[in-house]
Structures are given as structure tokens and as C-alpha cells.
Amino acid sequence: MSPSRTTAATDAADGQLVAREAAALLPTYGRQPVAFASGHGPWLVDTAGNEHLDFVSGLAVTNLGHAHPEVADAVAEQARRLAHTSNLYYTEPQIALAERLQATLGWPDGQAFFANSGAEANEAALKLARRYGKSRDDAKVRVVALSGGFHGRTLATLAATVCAVWLEVVQGEAGVRPLRADVLAAARAACDRHDALLVVDEVQTGLGRLGSWYGFQQPVGESGVTPEAAGERVAPDVVCLAKALANGLPIGAMVARGEATKAFGPGDHASTFGGQPVVCAAANTVIDVIQRDGLVAAAAERGAPLRARLDRLAVDHDDVVAARGQGLLQALVLADARAEEVVAAALDRHLIVNAVAPGVVRLSPPLIVDESLTDRAVEGLTAALDDVRHEPRARG
């Protein structure tokens, strides 16, 4: 990766876009100084024609890479046949997707509700959990969610008014923080004790990213204690999915199993677009491709050497404290709050990574990367760290 500093050239090419956006859009986003026009596989192409190695994947969304031909064909074919009917009617692609989710979760009794985003999937789960709680006790409507400084002990003191415990197996946006396996087991035990639902938000971790279909299916955390070793078989009652499910088309899904499925009946929840045929056709293809190409195992196989190189970097580089994460969701923890500067320096080198905390840089490449690309990313990141050290940038 040569430090060709083409971002300036891209800026020049996109001066018009920047001006048009400023005049036409509300300024809710602090954007990186680059505009992308196309993509293929793990590469994004900017409007000046430069290729960038994409280790963000549209926030862990484009797990099969950009412009995947089979997904594109599935979308085009379905759009030509039937794009939308609303949920007043039966459509086969939605049912087929729910069946695929049952199969990948290993939940033959799993039942899905489809929405259009991760937030909506969580909202549906919240509504389900509250109804479940109320069916037991009118006051059973509280939800316990884990904050950054969570400790297993909190679960021992849960009140009987909790209808659900909510957690992520690896907290993605909070800085790529893996949950300790014994905490997951403790959460399951607490939910069983209080007849509450264990809801796992797999919006970012689901569908192979961690090296298993779902994050809850594998040993997690830094303690080295697996749920199995702890004598517990940990499975949630509800999972929420979104990001990678349709490789870039907007979708959200909540899947419940067992008693939790009884909390919803006709009319209890709805979405105009949720589970519509085009998005479901894309998602069905995504799951088929992941299965056919062995991308879940690939994420584990690529994740291990990537993590080993990041661990090495943490030892060798003064500005890096540690690496953490699982599978192909990894992060570098920096000594200082300079993640944004490292991200900018990496962009100059045509490597796309993002900051999830002031001192944490996240890597979430598509599951199709090979080891030469993960090596290349670590080299780009190392160079970016050196750039930042030797040429301190002005913020802003």
C-alpha cells in the first residue's frame, strides 16, 4: 500500500458533492473525506478511481463483499417478478427466509418477525418481552441491559420485575468488547430463575462474523471459560438480526423460540416493508452463499491469524495497548484517544477502518478476505500508526 495521498485528489473530484450535500442534507453525519462510486469484493472505488481495501464493510453489513453477483441477480429477478405486496398477503421468499433462520440457529421451533433495521428488530423483541412479562405478572415489564462496566454479580440481584435480559456477545459499537462466557451463563441462569427472556442482540455478531453462525453458539470472552466448561448450555430465547442479513439491503429480524413465541398474536406487531420479497430474496441468497462457500469457518480461519498479527502489533508498537475481538470482528486499543487520526491516516493509504471509541479502531472485513488481504490491512494499519506518530495532524 503506497502512501499516495490521493484523498486530496478525491476531495477535489468531490468538491461538488460536498457542496451539494451541504445545501440539501441536514448535517447529521460527520463524513470521512471520500465519496465511493462502486465496489467489488473487498474493494471500494472512490469517485477519482482509487481502490480502497474495505475493512469496515458498511458497518459489518457487506459480509459477502460489494456488488456480489448472485445477490445482485436475486434482487433483480425478484424485483422483476414481484417487489412488494405488504404483509396483508403470503409471500414465499419471506417464509423461506424464516426457515433458513430456523436451520442456521438450530431452532426448529424458532419463529421470525421481519423489520427493516437492527433498531426495529430490537424494538420488536422489546415489545415481545414486555408482553411475555405481562402475561406472567402485570408489573413484569423491566428490562436489564448491560452497560460497559458490567459484572456478573449484577445478575444475582435482579428483581422479579424483569421481563428480559438484553446483551451482545461482543459489544460492537461500544468498542468491540467480548462478553465473558461465565456472564452469558449467569444471564441464562438468572433468566431461568425469574422466568425472564434472554435476548441476544446479534445484529452485528450474527451470520458468521465471529466465526460461528451466531455469537452465542461459541465460547466467548477473555476469561477462557466456555459456557460448556461452566456446565451450562447457553441459548437465548430471542435473537435480533439485521446488518449482514441481506448484504446491504435494509432488513431486520427477530427470532423467538419456545414460550416466547406465544407472546405475539395476530395484530400485535406489523411493518409495511418488513420481510418484503426483494430483501428476502437477497437474504436467502446471502445465507445460501455463506453455506455453500463455507464462510462461517472462513471467518474463524481468517480471524485467527489476523488477531495474532494484531496481538503482535500490540507488543511491538508503543501506541497500541491491546487487540481484542473474535473472528473477523477485531479492534486495536490505542494508548491515546487518537483513533480518528489513525483512521484518517489509513484512509490516505487506501485502507478503510473506523473508530468505535476515541481510542479504539475496529476491523470488520468482509468474510471473503484471504490472508494476504488481512496481512495487507495490518501493514496499512501499522504504517498509519507510524504516520500519526511522526506527523501529528491537526484535528478538525
- Listed as own residue / partner, the contacts of 215-221 with beta carbons closer than 8 Å and 24 or more positions apart are 215/168, 215/169, 215/170, 215/326, 216/169, 216/184, 217/106, 218/326, 219/181, 220/169, 220/170, 220/178, 220/179, 220/180, 220/181, 220/184, 220/326, 221/178, 221/179, 221/180, 221/181, 221/182, 221/183, 221/184
Is 271 a binding residue for ligand PLP by CB under 6 A? The answer is no
When asked if residue 351 is in the footprint of ligand PLP (CB under 6 A), the reply is no
Residue 76 or 119: the one with the smaller Cβ distance to ligand PLP is 119
CB 39 within 8 A of CB 66: yes
Position among 102, 111, 117, 271 found at the interface with ligand PLP (CB under 6 A): 117
**Counting contacts by CB under 6 A, is residue 357 touching ligand PLP?**
no
- Which CB atom, from 176 or from 260, has the smaller least distance to ligand PLP? 176
Contact pick of 7, 204, 217, 330 for ligand PLP (by CB under 6 A): 204
Question: C-beta of 243: minimal distance to ligand PLP in Å?
Answer: 6
Stretch that binds ligand PLP, among 24-32, 36-44, 113-121, 369-377 (CB under 6 A): 113-121
Site string for ligand PLP, 130-169 (x = CB under 6 A): --------------------------------------x-
DSSP calls for 125-169: HHHHHHHHHHHH-TT--EEEE--TT--THHHHT--TTEEEEEE-S
Query: At 198, is the secondary structure helix, strand, or coil?
Result: strand
Q: How far is CA 174 from CA 148, 359, 360, in A?
A: 7, 11, 9
Counting residues that bind ligand PLP (by CB under 6 A) gives 12
> Interface with ligand PLP includes 356 (CB under 6 A)?
no
The yes or no reply on residue 123 touching ligand PLP (CB under 6 A) is no
Phi then psi dihedrals of residue 45, to 5 deg: -115, 125
Q: Are 300 and 215 in contact (CB under 8 A)?
A: no
Show Cβ contacts of residue 302 under 8 Å, excluding neighbours closer than 6 positions: 328, 365, 367, 369, 370, 371, 374
Nearer residue to ligand PLP within complex by CB, 7 or 116:
116
Please pick, from the candidates 203, 289, 331, 383, the single residue that binds ligand PLP as defined by CB under 6 A: 203
173 binds ligand PLP (CB under 6 A): yes
CB of 60 to ligand PLP, least distance (A): 7
- Residues numbered 20 to 39 that lie near ligand PLP (CB under 6 A) are none
Q: Which listed residue (72, 119, 270, 297) binds ligand PLP by CB under 6 A?
A: 119
Q: Does 182 bind ligand PLP (CB under 6 A)?
A: no
Q: What share of the chain is helix, strand, coil (3-state, %, to 5)?
A: 40, 20, 40
How near is the Cβ of 181 to ligand PLP at its closest, in Å?
18
Q: What residues make contact with ligand PLP under the rule CB under 6 A?
A: 117-119, 122, 168, 172-173, 201, 203-204, 242-243
